[in-house]
Amino acid sequence: MPLVSMRQVLDEAAKGGYGVGAFNVNNMEQIQSIMEAARETQSPVIVQASRGARAYSQDRFLYHLMIAATELYPEIPTVLHLDHGNSPETCKSAIDMGFTSVMMDGSLMPDGKTPSTFEYNVEVTKKVVEMAHAKGVTVEGEIGCLGGIEDGHGSGGSGLDHLTDPAQAEEFVKLTGLDALAIAIGTSHGAYKFAKQPSGDTLKMETLIAIHKRLPNTHLVMHGSSSVPKDLQDIINQYGGKLKPTWGVPVEEIQLGIKNGVRKINVDTDNRLAITGAIRKVFMEKPEEFDPRSYMKPAREAMKKVVALRMTQFGQAGHAKDYTPIPLAEMAKKYEAVAV
Ligand code: G3H
Ligand code: 13P
Ligand code: ZN
């Protein structure tokens, strides 16, 4: 089947009361890991590429690898999503290439660092909604800012610096007409989220619940949702790595979010840790090896294990065959009908 609309995948997740992991990719092996995990668990899946990933893969390599994924895994509803688009132009280039979903992250200025104003965020997000919906493409926006910085993207600081205001979130959705809303409830990008084990009140789940009460029909998105498991950290350190002790987002907190309107969960760091640990292990144990396949295969397998586990924990497992994909042209007509 062709790449599908993220809106449809999230609508179905809302009906079924489950969440869908959105996993970042930069290369063939990461795409293969996700697609194999999706087949094993029979999951619909969101594959996402950041601006950095698009630059790394010269854009077209990544796009064509995703087309290969749809050919090789025709039974899996697969979304190709732009992660943290920094401007309407970036979103347009993704839409023109064939992405079926884009994130316009107007919570930050185009530099990807400076928190923006509410008015700026509304203006750029609305512009992308108009452009994307005309082609049946889904739009994710963000209100409030995540902490941390990945590849230059993020407001820096802790995840608690720019939390989402529920009333502002409601206003934002009304003014932009977006499909999915990323909220800031204390998470941040990268491995160093929390310096100690998070307790029940580390993440602002009451804010999430308040947002869901105001916006029961908006799909909420949790960024910075890697759990940074200790066993993955240990493998890296055991084989010569130097990670400092760190904690991520407990899966139980994500599951509580899913009970309260979270439909898309962004995970990148956990997969990076799994890949790095597996490669380090081969390098230490078999220093004579120099065939990249000798370490890329175990790396691919390690990432697949993490992704399959998250697919089961988020509840998307078993839902790949629940529905027939709606073509983007039909999605565009649906958006048009609602707008009139
Ligand atoms: O937004 C954060 C994701 O982990 C992507 O990271 O910008 O380094 O590709 P990146
Ligand atoms: P992690 O760094 O927690 O994996 O978050 C990834 C993310 O939010 C991508 O947008
Ligand atoms: Zn993010």
* Residue from 23, 51, 84 whose mutation best tests the ligand 1 pocket (most atoms within 8 A of CB): 84
Distance CA(186)–CA(227), nearest Å, equals: 14
Ligand 1 pocket member 50 (CB < 6 A):
yes
Evaluated on CA atoms 301, 306, 312, 316, the torsion sign reads negative
Spell out which residues line ligand 2, taking CB within 6 angstroms.
24, 83-84, 189-190, 223-226, 266-269
Single-letter amino acid, residue 184: A
Q: What are phi and psi of 89, to 5 degrees?
A: -65, -45
Angle of helix 60-72 versus helix 28-41 axis, rounded to 10: 30
State the distance from the centre of ligand 1 to the C-alpha of 325, rounded, in angstroms: 28
Which residue's CA is the nearest one to ligand 1's atom 2?
150
Provide the pairing of β-strand 20-24 with 138-143: unpaired
Residue found by looking up tokens 């697919």 in the block: 311
pLDDT, average across residues 143-155 = 68
Among 53, 78, 137, CA closest to 311: 78
> What does the pLDDT look like over 76-133, one tens digit per residue?
999 999 999 999 999 999 999 999 999 999 999 999 889 999 999 999 999 999 999 9
Distance CA(293)–CA(289), nearest Å, equals: 10
Atom index in ligand 1 nearest the CA of residue 154 equals 1
> What does the pLDDT look like over 157-201, one tens digit per residue?
666 668 899 999 999 999 999 999 999 999 999 999 999 998 888
The number of angstroms, rounded, from the C-alpha of 21 to the middle of its chain's C-alpha atoms is: 7
Distance CA(167)–CA(217), nearest Å, equals: 15
327 pLDDT higher than 60: yes
User: In the prediction, which pLDDT does 339 show?
Assistant: 80
Which residue's CA is the nearest one to ligand 1's atom 4?
268
Ligand closest to the CA atom of residue 153? 1
State the distance from the centre of ligand 1 to the C-alpha of 5, rounded, in angstroms: 22
Q: What are phi and psi of 308, to 5 degrees?
A: -60, -40
User: In the prediction, which pLDDT does 149 show?
Assistant: 60
83 is catalytic: yes
**Beta-carbon-side half-sphere exposure of residue 157 (alpha carbons within 13 Å):** 13
Could you tell me the pTM of the whole model?
0.96
Burial of 93 (0-12, 13-18, 19+ CB in 10 A): middle
State the distance from the centre of ligand 1 to the C-alpha of 272, rounded, in angstroms: 10
> What does the pLDDT look like over 228-269, one tens digit per residue?
999 999 999 999 999 999 999 999 999 999 999 999 999 999
Ligand 1 pocket member 52 (CB < 6 A):
yes
- Any alpha helices (H) in the chain, and if so which ranges? 6-16, 28-41, 51-56, 60-72, 88-97, 118-133, 166-176, 205-214, 230-238, 251-259, 269-285, 292-314, 328-339
The model's confidence at residue 145, banded by pLDDT at 50, 70 and 90, is confident
User: In the prediction, which pLDDT does 205 show?
Assistant: 95
